[in-house]
Amino acid sequence: MSKFMSAAVFAAFAVPMALAAATPASAEERICRSSLGQVTVDNLKVPSKATCRLDGTRVKGSIVVETGATLIASKVVVIGNVQAEGAKAVTVRRASRVGGSVQVKQGGAATVEASIVDGSIQLEQNKGAMTVVGNTVGADVQAFQNTGGVTVEANVVDGNLQCKENTPAPVGGGNTVQGNKEDQCRKL
């Protein structure tokens, strides 16, 4: 075999092998349209208009709640984030643990209760009731431009408690905040 032919054969096999090695393995995504108990999944998605109930579920990645969907999570462990945009309702409660943040934007109602969130809780431009009660939060709690009412009560917040442009103004109290209590939340 000539040197040119050997190089061509090598290139024909080496390039696809190098590309295959460079492609990262993607984590599996579990779709939830009903309920899951004490199982472990990589990532979890609640598809549009579905309802997912989690009880004791472990998520090694993140949970994404799509438009019009509902998540009711109790005693869950989520290594990543809980992210919802346009969701009908998001509930994280009863001794749940989220390693990242809980982000609920442009949706309906949200409740984060009696849980540990290592990152932030961010509630933005939601139309339903927002309830953040009895949590330990590793970063900030932020409530901006919500119109269904915001209750922030009895939380321990390592960062700031920030509330702006909510109608009506947030209610609650008894929050221990290491950073600053700002704007509408300065008396909570």
Averaged pLDDT, 9-14: 44
Q: What is the mean pLDDT of the chain?
A: 90
**Percentage of residues of the chain with pLDDT beyond 70:** 86
What value does the CA radius of gyration of the chain take, rounded to a whole number of Å? Answer: 22
- pLDDT band at residue 23 using 50, 70 and 90 as cut-offs: very low
Residue 16 to residue 164: CA distance in whole angstroms:
53
pLDDT of 11 above 90: no
The mean pLDDT of 61-84, rounded to a whole number, is: 98
Take residue 120 and report the two structure tokens written for it: 């932030």
Q: What is the pLDDT of residue 81?
A: 98
pLDDT band of 13, cuts 50, 70, 90:
very low
**Phi, psi for residue 60 in degrees, rounded to 5:** -75, -20
pLDDT tens digit string along 48-65? 999 999 999 999 999 999
pLDDT of residue 161: 98
pLDDT in tens, 92-148: 999 999 999 999 999 999 999 999 999 999 999 999 999 999 999 999 999 999 999
Q: Residue 30: is its pLDDT beyond 90? A: yes
- How large is the average pLDDT for residues 142-164? 98
Contacts of 130 (CB under 8 A, 6+ apart): 104, 109, 110, 111, 123, 143, 146, 148, 149, 150, 151
8 Å CB contact between 24 and 30: no
Segments of 32-120 assigned E as strands: 35-36, 40-41, 43-46, 51-55, 58-59, 63-65, 70-74, 77-78, 82-85, 89-93, 97-98, 102-105, 109-113, 116-117
C-beta separation of 38 from 59 below 8 A: no
What local confidence, expressed as pLDDT, does residue 5 receive?
45
The number of C-alpha atoms within 13 Å of 175 and in the hemisphere containing its C-beta is 31
Domain parsing of the chain, residue ranges? 28-183
Q: Which pLDDT belongs to residue 25? A: 43
For residue 42, the model assigns a pLDDT of 98
